[in-house]
Amino acid sequence: MFSRTFFKINNLLISQSVRKVLVQPAANMSGNSSKLLNSNMWDSDPELFSIIQKEKKRQQAGLEMIASENFTSLPVLQCLSSCLHNKYSEGLPGQRYYGGNEYIDEVELLAQKRALEAYNLNAEDWGVNVQPYSGSPANFAVYTAIAEPHGRIMGLDLPDGGHLTHGFFTPTKKISCTSLFFESMPYKVDPETGLIDYEQLAKSSKTFRPKVIVAGVSCYSRALDYKRFKEIADDVGAYLFSDMSHISGLVSAGVTPNPFEYSDVVTTTTHKSLRGPRAAVIFFRKGVRSTNAKGEKIMYDLESKINQAVFPGLQGGPHNNAIAGIATAFKQAKSPEFVEYQKQVVANARRLAAGLQEKGYKIATGGTDVHMLLVDLRGTGISGAKAERILEEISIACNKNTVPGDKSALNPSGFRLGTPAITTRGLVETDIDKVVDFIDRGLKLAKEASVVSGPKLVDFKNVLEKDETFKNKVAALRNEVETFSNSFPLPGYPDY
């Protein structure tokens, strides 16, 4: 693991150098223009800088346990604030609609090369588009390319651990545009085990006949059986589309099953376990897809379809600063330190699940294979929303989440926890034991407050904010959490 002392010394040096030499006014500009364009933000906009510093302090003092968040590296932050931001570059390398893109092309080609290398992919078999702004546009581009309007898709239902962009809708409303513009049918988990019911998916797919089957999750703590997904997809002639946004860092490090062996298309965000910038990439197969009854080879035609769906179909100019961040994040993913980090992420998640189970809490699916877990609060007397609220009050960030069988995403019965961000800060298993204790004490405090407030969340919040007894208890526990959290470093700039 990395040294906390090294982090502190390095950040101090960076802070001093940034403040001293970050900007020098241009000599050939007028006074007003020079000041407007070249003054540091902390001088030109102290009001905004103060807010950013408060957010930095919150991140430093709290425990970030939202499974889809992480703390990116200093090199990624430097890419994001670089001159690459200034350039328009619609189109692909060598096929731009603007001039002056020779170095932008180099950046994007490097990002593509490193993306393939991160997952040991052969460029003859796989291509990649690194331009999607984030995960949701990336997924929509895939459907646009291979399902086409009103094409049929099947993804894991959101209350069962799926994602909005896998086709979520309710009986009264199409929530995600992936269900508005495409015809969606969800598959489910077994209500007893919480595990994906592959047999029911196989049966349903034969009736629905989807064009695309999505293997991907947002809150599901077990490894996916990509081989079984592929068998089901092949049986109905569907594309297998794997959304590995949550686990892409784990996949790169080889600590969870690899979707590339069986998938036709793979997407990922780059800011979750991969620890890069807030962006996304799309991988697509090339070469022979299948052989027909006559022995003729049927080739993949995904490259042009997906590239055109991204641009000009759904996006304009790519964010070149983010693409540079993607490139350096994928370089880091090939390092031994990154592999050890991912192993620690999983070890911490398993320790967290086991510790909460020892305290008497139910964990969906009985544990975790990956970086996250779902705490099922049914029967405890508190809701997921109340759990989220009390933990936020004591500086532990998580999110309320549905558990299998829930009827409302706004009033769910569980909450989700993840370990990528706290592992980035250097926490190991013995530290996780303390985190378990903090969470347990917070939830017990929530139970006490619920007895006073009753079932409504608004009344619960009022008790925490106005009842002196609970205010003092919350403040005391928050102080313990923040003292503990402040002993671990954050990567990046120390004060913003």
Residues carrying an active site annotation: 219, 271
The separation between CA 337 and the C-alpha centre of its own chain, rounded to angstroms, equals: 20
Residue recorded with tokens 């877990």: 373
Which is it for the CA torsion 33, 37, 40, 44, positive or negative?
positive
Phi then psi dihedrals of residue 465, to 5 deg: -90, -25
Residue 47: which residues within 8 A CB-CB, separation 6 or more?
none
**What region does 335 belong to: left with phi over 0, alpha with psi -120 to 50, or beta?**
beta
Instruction: Select from 325, 333, 329, 323 the least CA-distant residue to 93.
Output: 323
Phi then psi dihedrals of residue 376, to 5 deg: -95, 115
Residue 362: which residues within 8 A CB-CB, separation 6 or more?
375, 376, 377, 378, 379
Residue 336: which residues within 8 A CB-CB, separation 6 or more?
none
Helix (H) or strand (E) holding 184: strand 183-184
DSSP per residue, 283-330: EEE-SEEEE-TTS-EEE--HHHHHHHIIIIII--S--HHHHHHHHHHH
- Taking a C-beta distance cutoff of 8 angstroms, is the pair 264, 126 a contact? no
Phi then psi dihedrals of residue 166, to 5 deg: -100, 20
Helices and strands (DSSP H and E) totals, the chain = 19, 17
What is the radius of gyration, based on Cα positions, of the chain?
24
Tokens of residue 112, six digits: 């593509």
Tokens of residue 128, six digits: 């990649």
